[in-house]
Amino acid sequence: MNDLHEGPLTSVSSPVAPPKPSRRDERRMRRKRRRRGEEILGWILVPIILFGIYWGVTAGFEFLGTTPGTVWDQLMQVKAMMEKRS
């Protein structure tokens, strides 16, 4: 019984929980997460939207059986005709 080191017990401190963030801190964290999510979503959606617009314009020209160059030339002819009228 010599190996029982009897004596006063030392108090064991329970781990202190970190302080709960205030409403302002919670709002700041939500805002930071939302901005990060919007950035990620933007990097994904903007190229998809641009590709969709390009595809739509190309499909529209193909459906009409023309090209952008032909449409531009026709617009310039209309502009020249309108300038002659004035």
Per-residue pLDDT of the chain (86 residues; tens, 9 = 90+): 556 667 777 777 788 888 898 999 999 999 999 999 999 999 999 999 999 999 999 999 999 999 999 999 999 999 999 998 87
Which pTM value belongs to this model?
Answer: 0.58
Q: How far is CA 21 from CA 30, 36, 42, in A?
A: 12, 20, 29
| Structural domain spans, the chain | 23-85
| Ramachandran sector of residue 65 (left: φ over 0; alpha: ψ -120 to 50; beta: rest) | left
> DSSP letters of 67-83?
-HHHHHHHHHHHHHHHH
